[in-house]
Amino acid sequence: MKVPRKIKELGLFDKEHIQFSLETKCPDTAQKLASLARDYVQSYWADLIENGPDEGEIRLQRAVMRVKLHGMRYKPVNILADDDVEQIVRRVEKAAENPDNKEHVAAFLGGAGAPELLLSEALEKFWQYAAPKIQGKNPEQVRVWENSRRRAISNLIDVVGDKRVTELARADMLSFRDWWLERIEAEGLSNNTANHDLKFVRTVLKTVNTNFEPKLGLRINDLFEDLKLESEESERVPYTVNFVRNVLMSRAKLSGMSEDYRLIVWAFANTGAGPRELIMRQPEDIVLDHDVPHIKIVRRKNDGLKTKSRPREIPLVGASLYAFQQRPAGFSQYQDRVNSVTTAIGKFLRENKLYEREGQTLYSLRHTFQDQLTAMNVPDRVQCELMGHAFDREKYGEGPTLAHKQKILRRMAFEVID
């Protein structure tokens, strides 16, 4: 159908003609659909000319409710093709029950218009739909989770504009990928940085596409097919035992680092725990008045552990025992900014060249810990219970005791040196 001049002047259509498939091979069904489609599109245009776009949004919401009352979901005319023939016929039959009521017909055949949801508005909707995903996360984890998705959508808007979600096309996503390729080249970034942005944009759009009423009809797979850039390996590089013993355990070498940060490094070295697992410990998780001093890594509200195998008890020996003896209540002042702490420690290590190879970070100490366990032929089950890894065989008995684990860790413990 040709788009009337007055409709084009409203800025809602930028093409001379509109067309859409009725998605049926049945001539009789097609004839009914074509006739009704022509009527309600013309009716919709007439309403827009008379009442303007704002009235159109009100009419759209009425259509959504009308169709919902009949156990269906409103679909704009351009995505009715998603239905199979049986569903299309059902909609035609419902529309035919009251053919003189243009609003009734438009509701069932998608003639009440399409949602005008902008990309920026879609992000706000996403927070509502994705709320269950952040249950159990602490405030810092929520902030990091939200910022990554907010940044990705902001980047997309910078490239394609804050356009309607329903107007997103494959060309927009290709432009977004090309924009990232230029940044990677100019700024020396990793392909993985772009891939993360693409993943977050896809997640936001897919979630909104699934939950928003009326149906948006985005073809997510078509939009994002083959956009991912070739991944780059980012395997953590462990420190050697000698480097940890003679450099990272040295007060002199770490003299420019704050005392708390030094203690975190030392606590990390003999436990194999992750930085978050260490810093998020509450005073009751740090048990020093026991035959085997240890820390308890347990699940708590707003302290989501990565996997169900992560809760465990780890004996404290050597530098790690010393660190917690200096901070028996833990590091609670950093619990809302764990990432900032690890970033600051990593920056200090890089600036002072306290590494052996590129790619080594604070987290590399966990890999050193794993290498030590492997070198000592520690049984798999004990390794898993120290590292917080899943044990992929049937568990029998109580497992290794604290005393047993302490004996192993003492053999590989690092000590603080002056």
Q: Which amino acid is at 28?
A: D
In the chain, % of residues over pLDDT 70: 70
Average pLDDT over every residue of 212-231: 80
Q: What is the pTM of this model?
A: 0.52
CA-closest candidate to residue 126, choices 165, 95, 159: 165
What is the gyration radius of the CA atoms in the chain, in angstroms?
30
Evaluate if residue 417 carries a pLDDT over 70.
yes
Task: State pLDDT tens for residues 260-283.
Answer: 999 999 998 999 888 888 888 889
Evaluate if residue 70 carries a pLDDT over 60.
no
**Phi/psi of residue 93, nearest 5 degrees:** -65, -40
Work out the mean pLDDT of the chain and round it to a whole number.
79
* Residue 252, pLDDT score: 93
Average pLDDT over every residue of 396-405: 78
Q: Which amino acid is at 12?
A: L
Assign 361 a pLDDT band (cuts: 50, 70, 90).
confident
Task: State pLDDT tens for residues 310-357.
Answer: 788 999 999 999 999 999 999 988 887 888 888 899 899 989 988 888
Secondary structure of 199-239 as H, E, C letters: HHHHHHHHHHHHHCCCCCCCCHHHHHCCCCCCCCCCCCCCC
Pairing verdict, β 312-315 and 294-297: antiparallel
Evaluate if residue 253 carries a pLDDT over 80.
yes
Who wins on pLDDT, 61 or 230? 230
Task: State pLDDT tens for residues 102-125.
Answer: 566 555 555 545 556 789 988 988
* Residue 112, pLDDT score: 47
- Residue ranges per domain, the chain? 5-108, 119-224, 241-411
Task: State pLDDT tens for residues 13-38.
Answer: 556 776 666 556 778 777 776 776 67
Q: Are 59 and 21 in contact (CB under 8 A)?
A: no
In the chain, % of residues over pLDDT 90: 29
* Residue 36, pLDDT score: 63
> Chain-centre distance of CA 146, in angstroms?
8
> First CA to last CA across the chain, in angstroms?
83
E strand or H helix at 134, and its extent?
none
CATH topology of domain 241-411: hpI Integrase; Chain A (1.10.443)
